Amino acid sequence: MPSLQSIHVKGNIYYRLVSCRRINGKPTPVVLAYLGKADDILQRIEAADHARVRSWSHGAVAALYALAGELRLAELIDGHLSKSGRRLRPSSRTSGPLPPQRNDGLTVGQSLTLVAIGRACCATSKRAFAEWANTTTLGQLADVDVDRLTSQHFWDQMDQLPVKLVEPIERDLIADVVERFQIPLDTLLFDATNFFTFIASANDRCELPARGKQKQKRNDLRQVGVALLCSRQHGIPLWHRTYGGNVADATCFSQALSSLKQRMIALRRDLESLTVVYDKGNVSRANQCQVDDSRIHYVSALTVASQRELVDQANPLLAPVELAPGETVPAYRTKKEIWGAERTVVVVCSERLRQGQMAGVMQHVRKAQEWLAEQADTLRRGKQRRNRARIERDIENYLKGRQHLSEVLRFRLTGEDPHLTLSHEFDQSAFDALARNTFGRVVLMTDRHDWSTADIIRTYHGQAAVEAVFAHLKDPFHLALRPQHHWTDQKLHVHVFTCVIGFLLANLLHLRARRANAPYASIESLLDALARVRRAMIIRRPAGRTGRRAERVTYQLEEIEPDIAPLLPVLGVPG
DSSP per-residue letters across 291-333: HHHHT-EEEEEE-TGGGHHHHHHHGGG-EEEEEETTEEEEEEE
Q: Percent of the chain at pLDDT above 70?
A: 95
- In whole angstroms, how large is the CA radius of gyration of the chain? 34
| Percent of the chain residues past pLDDT 90, beyond the cut | 58
Which of 149-163, 195-209, 462-476, 538-552 reaches the highest mean pLDDT? Answer: 149-163
Predicted TM-score of the model (pTM): 0.83
Residue 544, pLDDT > 70, answer no
**How is the chain split among helix, strand and coil, in percent rounded to 5?**
45, 25, 30
Phi then psi for residue 460, to 5 deg, are: -65, -35
User: Rounded to 10 degrees, what is the CA torsion of 406, 215, 283, 273?
Assistant: -140
Q: Quick check: 214 pLDDT over 80?
A: no
Cβ count within 10 A of residue 505: 24
Contact 400/415 with Cβ under 8 angstroms? no
Q: What DSSP string describes 374-423? A: HHHHHHHTT---S-HHHHHHHHHHHHHTSTTHHHHEEEEEEEETTEEEEE
How crowded is residue 102: how many other Cβ atoms within 10 Å of its Cβ? 12
Strand partners, 23: 26
Which tens digits make up the pLDDT trace of 549-569? 667 888 889 888 888 999 999
Residue 258 has pLDDT above 80, yes or no: yes
CA distance 395 to 376: 11
Instruction: Check: CB of residue 411 under 8 Å from CB of residue 368.
Output: no
Choice between 554 and 49, residue whose per-residue pLDDT is larger: 554
Cβ–Cβ < 8 Å for 81, 108: yes
Round to whole Å and give the CA distance between 347 and 432.
Answer: 20
User: Tell me: the pLDDT tens digits for 74-88?
Assistant: 999 999 999 998 887
User: Is residue 222 helix, strand or coil?
Assistant: coil
The answer to which of 15-29, 172-186, 262-276 has the lowest mean pLDDT is 15-29
Report how far Cα 430 is from the mean position of its chain's Cα atoms: 41
